[in-house]
Amino acid sequence: MSLWGGRFCEPSDEDLRRLNDSIDFDHILYAEDIEGSMVYARALAQAGVLSAEEAEAIIEGLGQVTREFACDRFELAAGDEDIHTAVERRLIEIVGDVGGKLHTGRSRNDQVATDFRLWTMRAADRLHGELRQLQAAIISAAESHNETVMPGYTHMQPAQAITAAHWLMSFFWMLERDQERLRTAKESMAACPLGSGALAGTPFAINREQIAADLGFDKPSENSLDAVSDRDFVADMLYAIAICATHLSRLAADVLIYSSAAFGFIALDDRYSTGSSLMPQKRNADPMELMRGKTGRLIGNLTGFLTTLKGLPSGYNKDLQEDKEALFDSLETMHQLLPVVTATVGSLQIKAEAMAAALTEDLLATDLADYLVGKGVPFRQSHHIVGQVVRLAAERGVSLSQLPLSALRELSEHFGEDIEQVFDYARSVARRNSYGGTAPEAVRAQIAQAKARINQ
Ligand code: ARG
C-alpha cells in the first residue's frame, strides 16, 4: 500500500509504478534521510507537536531502521516508492501509529531536497580527498624531475624547452581550481530546505535555524518555494566534476601522446597498461583512454540535467527526480577513475634520455632572438633576423649551431663568438625563472606553494 492512497479508488498501474519509483537508486540516501527525520522529530517535540516520549520512540525506531539498512537487512515492501516512503513505512511497523506523526508539516519535497543536499555535501568531501591524493602524486612525480628537460609544445609543434616537473605541475593547478569549485559548490549548498513543507512553509512552530545547525548546514533556506525545487547544487557538482574530468582528459591526452612509440617520453607501469588480444607486442594506455572517454559522459550528465531543469515551472516537479541518477553516475565514475589515474601518475616512468634526445635547436630560436635583444636589437627585428637564420639552416640541412658565424653575421652584425652559450637547453630553461616560469628554481618555489596548499 502506498502512503498516499486515500484519494484513489484504484491502485497505480504496474508500469507507471516502475517508472515512478526511485527506490532502486535513492536508497543510497538512507542515512541522510534518517538523520533528517531524527532532527525533525526533535524539532516537532520542541514545537509541541510531539510529546517528548513520542519523539523518543520515533528516534529509537529510526535507529533500528538505520541498523537494518547498515547491515543490509532492510526488506523492501510493495508500495516503497522511494527512500522516504520506505523509511516511514518501516518506522510505523516498528513503533506503531505514533510513527505516523513524523511527517507532520513535512513533505517529501523539502525532505528530498534536504537529504540530497546533505548527501552531496558529503560526496564533495570524499571527492576532495581523492583529488588531494592525485595532487600529491603529481607533486612527487614533479619533484623527481625538476631538472629533466623536455620539448614544450604549442599547436603540437616544438616551441620552447620546459622541465618535466613544470609540465606535470600544470595539472596540479588545474586540479587546485577544481578543488576551489568543489569548495564553493559545497558552501552554497549549505542552506537547509527542511521546514519548507510542500512549497509554502509550515504552520508548526519548528525552529528552522536549529534544524539547519543540527544537520550541519550553515543556515535555513530563505524561501520555501525556491527551496523545494532548487537543484543548483546538483548542477554545481556536475559542473565541478565535468571540468575536473576535462582537465584529467587533457592529462590523459598528453600521457597518450608522450607514451606513444613516436615520442617515448614516458612509459606506463605494467599494472596500468593493457595488451591486445591479437597483436602480441601491444602495450596500450587504456586507463588514460578511459579517463578521456568517460569525460564525455560526465559532460553529458551536466548538459542532460540542465536540460531537465530549463523548462520547469515553479515548485517541485517530478522531473527533479532525474537529479539523482545523473549525480550518482558522475560521482561513481569519478570514484572508479581517480584511484587508477592517481596510481598511473604515481607509477609513471619519465624517460629523461628520450626527452633529451627529442630536444631540437629550433626550441632555442626564442633564446637566439633574446640574445640579439641583449645586443640592443629591437625584438621585432631580432625575431625577423632569427627567422632568416632558421630558414638558412633548413635550406642547408643543418642545425642552428652548425651555421658558421660568418653566415650569421651576414644576417646581423650583432652575432658574435658568445653565441655559443645560447645552444644550451638547461640554460634556456634556467633563464625562465620568473614567478610561474619553468626554471628549476621557479618550479621548486611552485612546488613549495603547492605543498602548502595541500597541507592547509
Ligand atoms: N522520489 C522523489 C524525488 O526524488 C521524492 C519527492 C517526491 N515528491 C512528490 N511530491 N512526489 O524527487
Boundary residue ending a domain (104, 134, 159): 104
- Let me know whether 245 and 145 are in one domain: yes
User: What CATH number does the domain containing 19 carry?
Assistant: 1.10.275.10
Give the residue, 145 or 2, on which the prediction is more confident. Answer: 145
For residue 1, what pLDDT is reported? 61
Structural domain that includes position 114 = 109-205+217-357
- Let me know whether 374 and 325 are in one domain: no
Q: How far is the CA of 84 from the centre of ligand 1 (A)?
A: 9
Rounded mean pLDDT of the chain? 97
- Let me know whether 366 and 347 are in one domain: no
- Let me know whether 231 and 337 are in one domain: yes
Boundary residue ending a domain (329, 357, 385): 357
| Residue with CA closest to ligand 1 atom 7 | 108
Q: Is 22 in the pocket of ligand 1 (CB under 6 A)?
A: yes
What mean pLDDT is predicted for residues 226-255? 98
- Let me know whether 237 and 371 are in one domain: no
Backbone angles phi, psi at 64, to 5 degrees: -65, -40
What mean pLDDT is predicted for residues 6-29? 93
- Let me know whether 89 and 223 are in one domain: no
Give pTM, 2 decimals: 0.95
- Let me know whether 194 and 280 are in one domain: yes
For residue 279, what pLDDT is reported? 85
- Let me know whether 185 and 307 are in one domain: yes
> Annotated active-site positions, please?
155, 276
What does the block give as the cell for 398? Answer: 643543418
Q: Which residues fall within 8 angstroms of residue 141, CB to CB, at 6 or more apart?
A: 168, 345, 346, 348, 350
As a whole-number percent, the residues of the chain with pLDDT over 70 amount to 100
Residue 211 within any structural domain of the chain: no
Boundary residue ending a domain (339, 357, 375): 357
Residue 212 within any structural domain of the chain: no
Q: Is 108 in the pocket of ligand 1 (CB under 6 A)?
A: yes
The total number of structural domains that make up the chain: 3
Provide the b/e sequence for 348-376 (b: ≥16 CB within 10 Å).
bebbbeebeebbebbbbbbbbbbbbeeee
Reported confidence tier of residue 282, pLDDT bands at 50, 70, 90: confident
Q: Is 316 in the pocket of ligand 1 (CB under 6 A)?
A: yes
User: What CATH number does the domain containing 129 carry?
Assistant: 1.20.200.10
Q: Is 321 in the pocket of ligand 1 (CB under 6 A)?
A: yes
Q: Are 197 and 229 in contact (CB under 8 A)?
A: no
- Let me know whether 335 and 197 are in one domain: yes
- Let me know whether 260 and 380 are in one domain: no
| Residue with CA closest to ligand 1 atom 11 | 318
